[in-house]
């Protein structure tokens, strides 16, 4: 197998869909298959892959042993095995501060949507859940049961998908600005990124190193990017490894995980001309108290009052929205949005900026001022 065949293999495409096997059996077979595929790579990557195979195999075996222990009720031992496995490939994980690529950026922009009909929600309603709600907080992919966690999306369309495609008229949406000092585990790269890069660039050492780095931690990324097989089940095994990873980043003093959505139908989004990722971030509370919201997040994250499509249409019935000069900090994001397309009606792609989502995003970015939540 050449590196090109490996790169174009459907086997590496995320998110994954589970088969009908018992979950531990699925994990074992998928990771064993991955190792066997790497062993067959013949080409310019073969030497480097062979050098990393012991490390990748150790990671895969650790994850397999971890899930086996979990399924017999030894959860503490299961996490210990998981932690040991992830620690072995920590140098290959992409852990970075926000705005690593630009000194000009002060914040990164994300969005949160809630479905709510009736009264207008407040900034506080859109923020992280208060500690007095611990016992009613549902379990999510990247969450520790009972610990409030703030979930945000890079695009309103992603937030809509994460809410399982509700009536757009029921959405209330806020813009969030994340302090540049936050440290994140950047967990959104996938094989399609490399396919897009290689369409426009000749392979070079930097691209090769990133690809090999990705192959090294791919077993962890894959098992954290599984679609839910049975959405109505109380126990969702697809959440085990992501929740372990959330515990691991807390021990490593990493503030958040930025991850690719498993809910988005990527066929509806044309990203051939851009590197935009439909991604989410999960930011757990940092300090506990009896009531109220996390003081650290409250002092580091700004949020706007929420708006809705109905708000916007009531204010500007013809959508003749006053245009402000773009903020320099957001020029790159605005440029990327300008080439992004979305297909909400089959066979009818439109520019993202012309869709409801794009109009709402641009209004939030250019017209709405984010500020800290005051309790």
Tell me the average pLDDT of the chain.
86
Q: Examine the pLDDT at 343 and tell me if it is beyond 90.
A: no
Residue 265 neighbours by CB under 8 Å, 6+ apart: 161
CB 340 within 8 A of CB 271: yes
- Give pLDDT, residue 273: 42
Q: Examine the pLDDT at 357 and tell me if it is beyond 80.
A: yes
Tokens of 332: 């790159």
Q: What is the mean pLDDT of residues 344-370?
A: 87
Residue 204 neighbours by CB under 8 Å, 6+ apart: none
Q: What is the mean pLDDT of residues 147-167?
A: 92
Burial of residue 112 (number of CB atoms within 10 Å: 0-12, 13-18, 19+): buried
How far apart are the C-alpha atoms of 26 and 95, rounded to whole Å?
28
Q: Examine the pLDDT at 370 and tell me if it is beyond 70.
A: yes
- Give pLDDT, residue 332: 46
- Give pLDDT, residue 223: 97
Helix 240-251 vs helix 75-88: crossing angle, to nearest 10: 70
Tokens of 243: 């929740």
With pLDDT > 70 as the criterion, what percentage of the chain qualifies?
A: 89
Picking from 158, 149, 132, the residue whose alpha carbon sits closest to that of residue 239 is: 149
Q: What is the mean pLDDT of residues 208-232?
A: 92
CA 150 to chain centre: 12
Q: Which of 61-70, 156-165, 364-373 holds the top average pLDDT?
A: 61-70
How far apart are the C-alpha atoms of 321 and 327, rounded to whole Å?
17
How far apart are the C-alpha atoms of 344 and 341, rounded to whole Å?
10
**Model confidence over 50-64: pLDDT tens digits?**
999 999 999 999 999
Q: Examine the pLDDT at 367 and tell me if it is beyond 50.
A: yes
279 or 152, greater pLDDT: 152
Q: Give the pLDDT band of residue 337 (cuts 50, 70, 90).
A: low
CB 270 within 8 A of CB 141: no
Q: Is the peptide bond before 236 cis (omega within 30 degrees of 0)?
A: no
> β-strand 149-153 against 348-351: which pairing, if any?
unpaired
Q: Give the pLDDT band of residue 346 (cuts 50, 70, 90).
A: confident
- Give pLDDT, residue 351: 82
Q: Examine the pLDDT at 331 and tell me if it is beyond 80.
A: no
Q: What is the CA radius of gyration of the chain?
A: 21
Tokens of 170: 């029921």
- Give pLDDT, residue 30: 97
Picking from 2, 3, 1, the residue whose alpha carbon sits closest to that of residue 215 is: 3
Q: What is the mean pLDDT of residues 58-73?
A: 98
Strand-pair partners of 280: 153, 259
CB 113 within 8 A of CB 252: no
Domain boundaries, the chain: 3-88+184-254, 107-182+279-367
Q: Examine the pLDDT at 286 and tell me if it is beyond 50.
A: yes
**Model confidence over 165-186: pLDDT tens digits?**
999 999 999 999 998 889 999 8
48 or 342, greater pLDDT: 48
How far apart are the C-alpha atoms of 332 and 310, rounded to whole Å?
29
CA 226 to chain centre: 12
* DSSP codes, 128-174: PPPGGGGGGPPP-TT--TTS-EEEEESSHHHHHHHTTS--GGGEEEE
Picking from 17, 360, 374, 375, the residue whose alpha carbon sits closest to that of residue 175 is: 360
Burial of residue 366 (number of CB atoms within 10 Å: 0-12, 13-18, 19+): middle
110 SS3 class: strand
Q: Examine the pLDDT at 341 and tell me if it is beyond 80.
A: no
How far apart are the C-alpha atoms of 2 and 358, rounded to whole Å?
41
């Amino acid at each position: 197998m050449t590196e090109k065949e490996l790169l174009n293999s459907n086997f590496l495409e995320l998110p994954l869909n589970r088969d009908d096997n018992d979950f531990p059996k699925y994990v074992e077979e998928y990771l064993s298959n991955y190792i066997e595929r790497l062993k067959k790579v013949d080409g310019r990557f073969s030497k480097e892959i062979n050098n990393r195979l012991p490390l990748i195999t150790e990671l895969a075996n650790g994850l397999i042993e971890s899930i086996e222990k979990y399924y017999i009720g030894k959860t503490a031992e299961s996490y210990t095995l998981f932690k040991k496995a992830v620690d072995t490939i920590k140098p290959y994980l992409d852990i970075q501060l926000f705005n690593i690529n630009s000194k000009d950026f002060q914040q990164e922009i994300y969005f949160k949507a809630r479905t709510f009909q009736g009264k207008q929600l407040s900034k506080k309603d859109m923020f992280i859940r208060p500690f007095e709600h611990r016992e009613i907080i549902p379990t999510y992919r990247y969450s520790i049961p009972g610990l409030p966690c703030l979930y945000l999306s890079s695009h309103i369309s992603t937030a809509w998908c994460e809410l399982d495609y509700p009536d757009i008229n029921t959405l209330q949406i806020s813009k969030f600005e994340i302090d540049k000092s936050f440290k994140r585990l950047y967990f959104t790269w996938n094989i399609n990124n490399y396919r897009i890069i290689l369409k426009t660039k000749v392979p070079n050492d930097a691209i090769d190193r990133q690809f090999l780095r990705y192959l090294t931690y791919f077993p962890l990324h894959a098992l954290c990017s599984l679609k839910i097989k049975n959405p109505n089940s109380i126990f969702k095994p697809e959440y085990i490894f992501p929740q372990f990873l959330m515990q691991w980043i807390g021990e490593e003093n990493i503030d958040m995980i930025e991850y690719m959505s498993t809910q988005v139908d990527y066929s509806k989004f044309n990203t051939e001309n851009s590197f935009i990722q439909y991604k989410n971030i999960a930011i757990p509370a940092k300090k506990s108290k009896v009531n109220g919201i996390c003081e650290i997040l409250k002092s580091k994250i700004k949020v706007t009052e929420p708006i809705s499509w109905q708000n916007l249409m009531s204010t500007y019935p013809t959508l003749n929205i006053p245009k402000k000069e773009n903020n320099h900090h957001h020029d790159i994001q605005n440029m990327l949005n300008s080439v992004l397309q979305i297909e909400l009606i089959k066979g009818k792609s439109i520019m993202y900026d012309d869709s409801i989502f794009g109009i709402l995003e641009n209004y939030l970015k250019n017209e709405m001022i984010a500020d800290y939540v005051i309790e």
